[in-house]
């Protein structure tokens, strides 16, 4: 994995730790290096709270002084290492007798190890220079060395993010790896870093959910989601979709019975351990979800001659799939869980929902709230399959063609898929 260093700075309670966890979500092997010591009840409670927020995916070590040695020892075993935080580390060093010169020497050794690490190093620090000048000389001295340390870190690290009231503001970004790589300012139409982050977060955190709770869906939120779906691209602007919103328990039960029968037949296609694994999977949440939505494609909308459809008759179905994807991403942004139930008899579904012959069901979706979104796709977690490497799926100019002058650059996370 390519080395990357990120410095998260900001005031107290500005959201630095939470953003570090967000940046780490795409990784599997995670190490958290904490410099705080549980010296009193309040600090013990804060440490417990932060450990609960991180969850079981993290390996945590509390090391108040020897952070460089710990980084050198542990970084090769993990994809991401978070140090929280530099300010406490400096304070611990001063308490143990370190002066400015020795602190800065230790800091440079630490930065050297960060640059040697094979993964993503995220370092959290506090911005102490924005407040009132302290009256106590020793406090001023600590502020000065902390500010100097932050300047050194910011100058050496690839990326610097300032947290302001929970909002990340990128003040330094990773340098391009190639002269051919476009700069972020090359397009006046580009989204801001915050808006791009929201978009990509919805993409990477989208999950096919099967576990729902009983919480009701807000009709206004669902309206925004369906309006986003309605703004999908469509060939010839034919907008072939309809959205059948289903909350009737009896209709849900009919569809659930449809699934049960189709699922039993599908199970017979597998054998031995694969069949056992298949039967152990929860593949629907039809009756658990507050709302079901059947997304259809009206194949006769606007008549037989639709711009762009003469040579590709199924583009109405493709367009409807674009609407489904819009719906899914908007739902994720709204905190709504979506599960696509594909194991159905569509002939039976058309009969149960009174769908005309010329209208094709494309997606039957379960929509509602969930206690937690899966950290990874459920089928990957259960061992059914794993995500393919996108780099191996890219060809250039012809089937299985290799790159010549132009080559796509991928984010670091794709190297771990």
For residue 332, pLDDT beyond 50: yes
Structure confidence by residue, pLDDT tens digits, 290-303: 999 999 999 999 88
For residue 267, pLDDT beyond 50: yes
pTM, 2 dp: 0.58
CA angle in degrees (0–180, nearest 5) for 340-287-335: 55
Q: Are 290 and 370 in contact (CB under 8 A)?
A: no
Q: What percent of the chain has pLDDT over 70?
A: 89
89-93, 285-289, 379-383 — which one is most confidently predicted on average?
A: 285-289
Q: Indicate the SS3 state at residue 145.
A: helix
Cα–Cα dist 329/270, whole Å: 32
Quickly state the pLDDT bin for 174 (edges 50, 70, 90): low
For residue 106, pLDDT beyond 90: yes
Domains annotated for the chain, with CATH where assigned, are: 4-174 (3.40.50.300), 204-386 (3.40.109.10)
Quickly state the pLDDT bin for 54 (edges 50, 70, 90): confident
Using CA atoms, how far residue 60 sits from 63, 70, 273, in Å, is 10, 11, 36
pLDDT of residue 57: 81
Residues in a beta bridge with 124? 8, 84
For residue 308, pLDDT beyond 90: no
310-322 mean pLDDT: 94
Task: Report the mean per-residue pLDDT for the chain.
Answer: 88
Q: Could you tell me the strand order of the sheet in which 167-172 lies?
A: 58-62, 30-34, 80-84, 120-124, 4-10, 159-164, 167-172
Q: Are 308 and 235 in contact (CB under 8 A)?
A: yes
236-263 mean pLDDT: 96
Structure confidence by residue, pLDDT tens digits, 91-104: 999 999 999 899 99
pLDDT of residue 327: 98
């Amino acid at each position: 994995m390519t080395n990357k260093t990120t410095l998260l700075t900001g005031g107290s309670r500005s959201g630095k730790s939470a953003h570090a966890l967000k940046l780490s979500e795409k990784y599997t092997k995670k190490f958290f290096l904490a410099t705080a010591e549980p010296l009193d009840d309040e600090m013990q409670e804060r440490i417990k709270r932060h450990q609960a927020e991180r969850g079981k995916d993290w390996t945590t070590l509390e090391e108040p002084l020897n952070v460089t040695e710990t980084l050198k020892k542990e970084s090769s075993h993990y994809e991401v290492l978070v140090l929280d935080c530099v300010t406490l580390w400096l304070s611990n060093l001063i308490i143990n007798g370190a002066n400015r010169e020795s602190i800065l020497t230790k800091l440079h050794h630490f930065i050297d190890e960060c640059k040697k690490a094979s993964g993503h190093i995220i370092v959290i620090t506090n911005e102490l220079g924005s407040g009132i000048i302290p009256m106590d000389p020793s406090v001023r001295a600590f502020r000065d060395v902390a500010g100097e340390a932050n300047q050194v870190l910011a100058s050496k690290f690839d990326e610097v993010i300032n947290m302001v009231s929970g909002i990340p503001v990128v003040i330094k970004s990773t340098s391009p790896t190639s002269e051919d790589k476009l700069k972020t300012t090359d397009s006046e139409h580009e989204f801001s870093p915050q808006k791009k982050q929201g978009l990509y977060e919805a993409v990477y955190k989208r999950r096919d959910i099967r576990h729902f709770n009983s919480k009701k869906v807000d009709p206004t939120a669902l309206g925004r989601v369906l309006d986003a779906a309605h703004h999908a691209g469509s060939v010839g602007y034919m907008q072939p979709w309809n959205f059948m919103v289903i909350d009737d328990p009896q209709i849900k039960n009919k569809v659930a019975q449809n699934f049960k029968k189709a699922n039993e037949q599908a199970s017979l296609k597998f054998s031995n351990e694969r069949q056992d694994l298949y039967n152990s999977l929860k593949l629907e949440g039809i009756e658990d979800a507050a709302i079901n939505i059947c997304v259809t494609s009206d194949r006769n909308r606007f008549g037989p001659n639709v711009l762009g459809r003469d040579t590709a008759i199924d583009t109405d179905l493709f367009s409807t799939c674009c609407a489904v994807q819009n719906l899914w991403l908007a739902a994720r942004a709204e905190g709504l869980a979506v599960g696509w139930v594909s194991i159905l008899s569509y002939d039976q579904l058309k009969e149960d929902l009174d769908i005309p012959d010329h209208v094709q069901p494309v997606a039957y979706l379960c929509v509602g709230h969930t206690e937690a979104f899966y950290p990874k796709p459920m089928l990957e977690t259960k061992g059914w399959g794993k995500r393919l490497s996108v780099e191996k799926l890219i060809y250039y100019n012809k089937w299985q063609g290799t790159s010549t002058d132009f080559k796509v650059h991928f984010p670091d996370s794709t190297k771990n898929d």
